[in-house]
Structure 1
């Protein structure tokens, strides 16, 4: 594996990355990442069979900003054990930036962690994935053991050991406060190989 780029910083902002490379065409990578998101979406909707597309999604299958500098899609679902599920993207595929999100918030009576998966380009590849806890982990050891030990922990450690990826720290304390013990938040060179690794 190659070493991380020397110019990368775990606290560099998205605006700083974009300023370095503001006009990279990432259309090909958008297509690949959106396809991965689509497969995840299919699995979620199959598992939560009662989830229905919310009316707020009407007309948002594809949209652009008034100046046509940004574009995106928005799909919101609810029902079948899901309080609110969003699959969306926003960005400019000709100008380096994509922000692609899957966020699943389960019904209030469910203790299973929520799901968050983000692909982004700046134009480096950003990858964020987490099982967001529904409880205070500091006082719920059984919850930690149930959802964050075993395979989830092993996958986290294996990914963390990959020196191609640099840990990307959120500048927002609220985001960091939500992160679980197995949260993945990384930045790396935008390559097909790295997208493959994130998909796996």
Structure 2
């Protein structure tokens, strides 16, 4: 396969995965009002100084959402792409945050999870309410030979994932992409139902919850082992700016 053909094929796969994130965004936009944060205005289109790598990072805020990131980056000639849709709720409710990541490396990688906002060792009601419903899906993927569970070598990344985190690699096929698309919508629809049914967090507890959320969001962004790929493609200065935008430091 020549480089031009490979680039065309990787573009088609990228567009399929990116379209999944746009479908999920449509459901978010139907439920929440968010606005593009000006701190990421200059990251809507960015590119490497050398090579074909380029990307887009857009962050949004709203009355119910503290920080929403919808981003992608890709290097067409190698077949690599990586995209995120992460929704960090405000402290008015304690529903888990929602995270999606899709990538080709060049095989398919995906991560979908509800990011816990309570101690799952002791808050058994929270565990049963928000994680038991997805346990069957988690077990189904374990038994599906098309998908291989991915275990990060980075301690914090493993620590922050829930025990029902869907983090897998698989061959890139229409069938596997369709499966990922279906489960992603299930994750989103379930989460939107939780948001609508959530009880408000007492005012006296909201500051502590917001502080905890920010610590987790920053640590995930800064400790992501894939940051080294961004550094190779875009350099240290741009990667640092991207990481700070992912967790929201730049908005201050």
Structure 2 residue runs without a partner (length 5+) = 183-252
- State the TM-score, normalized to the length of structure 1: 0.83
Distance 1:36 1:119 in 2: 9
User: Partner of 1:11 in structure 2?
Assistant: none
Task: Tell me by how many angstroms 1:103 deviates.
Answer: 1.1
User: Partner of 1:184 in structure 2?
Assistant: 166
Distance 2:145 2:24 in 1: 26
Q: Give the counterpart of 1:162 among 118, 123, 144.
A: 144
Q: Give the counterpart of 1:83 among 63, 66, 71.
A: 66
* Cα shift readout 1:39-59 (whole Å, capped 9, x = no counterpart): 11111122112x111112313
Could you list the structure 1 runs, at least 4 aligned residues long, displaced by more than 3 angstroms after superposition: none
Distance 1:184 1:125 in 2: 13
Distance 2:51 2:41 in 1: 20
Structure 1 residue runs without a partner (length 5+) = 1-22
Q: Give the match's secondary structure for 2:139.
A: helix
Greater strand percent: which structure? 1
User: Partner of 1:35 in structure 2?
Assistant: 19
Two-structure CA RMSD over aligned residues (Å):
1.5
Say if 1:99 and 1:119, in contact at 8 Å, map to a contact too: yes
Structure of greater relative contact order (alpha carbons < 8 Å, 6+ residues apart): 1
1:134 and 2:117 correspond: yes
- State the TM-score, normalized to the length of structure 2: 0.67
Greater helix percent: which structure? 2
